[in-house]
Amino acid sequence: MPKKKKTKDPRKEAKKKLVEFGSEVLESIKKTEPPRMKVPSRSTSNILYDDKNRFYTLGEKAGTRTAANMRQVKKFAQTMCAAEFCRSLIDADKTATLREMYYTSEGWETGGFSDQGRSDKVVEDLESAFGVKREDLGLLPEEDGASIFGELVVDEGGMEVNATEAGRAGYTIPPTMNDVEFLECGAKKVLAVETMGMYHRLVQEEAWDQFDALVVALKGQPARATRRFLKRANEELGLPIHLFTDGDPFGFHIAMVVISGSAKLAYINHELAVPDAKFIGVTASDIEDYDLPTDKLRETDVKRLKQLLDDPRYSDDTWQSEIKKMLKIGRKAEQQAFSKYGLDYVVNEYLPSKLS
C-alpha cells in the first residue's frame, strides 16, 4: 500500500467553520447589525464544467441570506439551528440521518420545516457555504453504501473488517467514510459494477481473485459514500477504477457521475469525482460485436441520449461515436445479457477483453 498522507480531521474542520459562523453572527448582533451569510448559488446558470479538473463545479454567483429581510428571517434562524444541531453532533461524536434532523426541527423555537426537501436544502446551504460535506457535519443519507469483495482490510471505528471474510455479500461500507481507515490492500484495481446481480456473479466466479480486484457493487446510482470510497481507493491506494454498467443512457449516466460528478453536487464534486476512472460497460459496439439480447430504446431513452451528445462530459470522440451508434440501432442491453453464452462468459471472455 502507498504511504498514507496525514490528513486533517474533517469533522474538526467542519466544527471550526460552524463556530466561526456563530461568532460572526454574534459580532454582528453586538454591533446592532443584522447577521447575514453568503450562500453560493446552485442554480443551473452557476453550475459550470471545469475542463481542467474534469468535473462540474460552482461558479462565482452567490446570494446573501440575512435577518434584515423579513421574508428570510425564519430561514436564517432555521439555518442557525441546523448549524447548532450539527455542532452538537460533532461534539457528541454522533451522527443523525437527514430524516432525523427534519423531525428534530419540530422542537426548535423557530419551528420546523414544511417538508424534508426544505430542511435538506438548508443542509446543502451549509455544505456549499462552508465547503464541507454533510457527512463531516454528522448528517447521513438513508441509503446504504457499496458492497465490496476482495483483498481489503479496513478499520471501521475500531473494528477490523476483511472484505473477503464478511460473507458472500462482502463488506458494506457505512453511510460515511470518515471512520474508515485502509489497513491492507492486496488488490491492483477496482471493478465497480452497476447491479447487485452482476456483483454476485463476479464474486461467485472469483473475479476478484482472477483480476486482482476489489469488486464493488454500485447498486444503481451510487450513494455518496460509495463515490467517496472509489475516490479514496483511487487516490490513497493508487487503484485504477473500472466502471462496468448497462448499455443504456442510465448506465452511461451512472458511470459518468462517478467520473465527473453530478450537476446537483457541483459544490462537493472535488471530494467525490474520479476523473481517471475508465468506462468498460456495455456499448452499442458491444451489442453488435457480441450479438447481445437487447430491448428497444424507449422514447425517454432516445431523448436522454440526444441530451448526452450535448453534455460536455461526453465530448470525447468515443462517447460521441457510441451514443450515435446506439441511437442508430435503436437498441440497449443489460450487463447480464452476456449470460446468453453462459454464466461465466462475462468473467472469462468479456472483462478480460475490456481490461486489456
State the CATH number of the domain containing residue 122: 1.10.10.10
Q: Would you call 327 helix, strand, or coil by DSSP?
A: helix
Q: Would you call 152 helix, strand, or coil by DSSP?
A: strand
Secondary structure (DSSP) of 84-123: HHHHHHHHTT--EEHHHHHHHGGGSTT---SSHHHHHHHH
Q: Tell me, yes or no, whether 218 and 154 share the same domain.
A: yes
Q: Of 80, 109, 140, which residue sits at a domain end?
A: 140
Q: Tell me, yes or no, whether 221 and 347 share the same domain.
A: yes
Instruction: Please compute the mean of the pLDDT values over residues 107-136 and round it to a whole number.
Output: 93
C-alpha cell at 54: 474534469
Give the span between the Cα atoms of 287 and 64, in whole angstroms. 51
Q: What's the pTM?
A: 0.90
Give the span between the Cα atoms of 146 and 167, in whole angstroms. 14
Q: Of 94, 111, 140, which residue sits at a domain end?
A: 140
Least confident residue range of 28-42, 85-99, 132-146, 233-247: 132-146
Helices (H), the chain: 10-30, 73-91, 98-104, 116-130, 196-204, 207-210, 224-236, 249-260, 284-289, 299-309, 317-329, 345, 351-355
Which among 335, 355, 342 is positioned nearest to 193, based on CA atoms?
Answer: 335
Backbone Cα Rg of the chain = 22
The tens digit of pLDDT for each residue in 290-331 reads: 999 999 999 999 999 999 999 999 999 999 999 999 999 999
> Which of 49, 103, 341, 345 does the annotation list as catalytic?
103
Strands, DSSP E only, in 35-82? 36-40, 47-50, 55-58, 62-66
Instruction: Please compute the mean of the pLDDT values over residues 328-344 and round it to a whole number.
Output: 97
C-alpha cell at 137: 457535519
Q: Tell me, yes or no, whether 111 and 153 share the same domain.
A: no
State the binding site: 194, 246
pLDDT band at 169 (very low <50, low <70, confident <90, very high): confident
pLDDT band at 27 (very low <50, low <70, confident <90, very high): very high
Instruction: Please compute the mean of the pLDDT values over residues 115-143 and round it to a whole number.
Output: 92
Q: Tell me, yes or no, whether 249 and 130 share the same domain.
A: no
Residue 104 — φ and ψ, nearest 5°? -60, -35
Which among 143, 245, 270 is positioned nearest to 191, based on CA atoms?
Answer: 245
Q: Tell me, yes or no, whether 271 and 134 share the same domain.
A: no
Q: Tell me, yes or no, whether 40 and 22 share the same domain.
A: yes
The sign one gets for the Cα dihedral 147, 255, 278, 195 is positive
Instruction: Please compute the mean of the pLDDT values over residues 143-149 and round it to a whole number.
Output: 84
Write down the pLDDT at residue 7: 55
**Is the separation of the CB atoms in 130 and 154 below 8 Å?**
no
Q: Tell me, yes or no, whether 121 and 217 share the same domain.
A: no
103 is catalytic: yes
- For residue 296, the surrounding DSSP H or E stretch is strand 295-296
Residue 50 — φ and ψ, nearest 5°? -90, 105
State the binding site for Mg(2+): 194, 246
